[in-house]
Amino acid sequence: MKANGNTVEAILENIPTERAAAFRELHEVIVKNLPKGFEPGISYGGLGYVVPHSKYPAGYHCKPIEPLPFAGLANQKNSINFYHMGIYSDPKLLQWFVAEYPKHSSQKLDMGKSCIRFKKPEAIPFALIGELMQKMSVEQWINLYESLLKK
């Protein structure tokens, strides 16, 4: 589902009322815990947390005009979805997250490769997401990304 809006604030303002508070809080937790070098912005038409072209001029290999994505946040039909390329790309980080999740939420983890779906906004583990965001620096992400491209 494409986000409604062309700026971060416009997207935040267009979230349905029943999810708006949780969505905004999740965005604020992510931004507060974003390591230096990452920036919030628009990525592929949605809310993204990216390595800007000023830091990584090559951009995303699939679409170099886009900055290098790291994380994202989307309002989907049945859930708030949080995307994190670090847990998709780093098996140790994924293992850590899966082990920590039950300590922070009573809800079963609903996860794809990089997507975590939160069907109950009141059950989002905000502190865990904040901690996850701090686990990888922009330099670590660029190095991991480039190493995966070489494979």
Containing 83, the helix (H) or strand (E) segment is strand 80-84
- pLDDT tens profile 48-106: 999 999 999 999 999 999 999 999 999 999 999 999 999 999 999 999 999 999 999 99
Q: Residue 74: which of 23, 123, 120 has the closest Cα?
A: 23
- pLDDT tens profile 21-54: 999 999 999 999 999 999 999 888 789 999 999 9
**CA count, 13 A, side-chain hemisphere, 70:** 29
Q: Residue 3: which of 62, 60, 73, 67 has the closest Cα?
A: 73
First-to-last CA distance in the chain?
31
What percent of the chain clears pLDDT 70, i.e. is strictly above it?
98
pTM: 0.93
> Counting every residue, how long is the chain?
151
Block residue for tokens 């809800």:
107
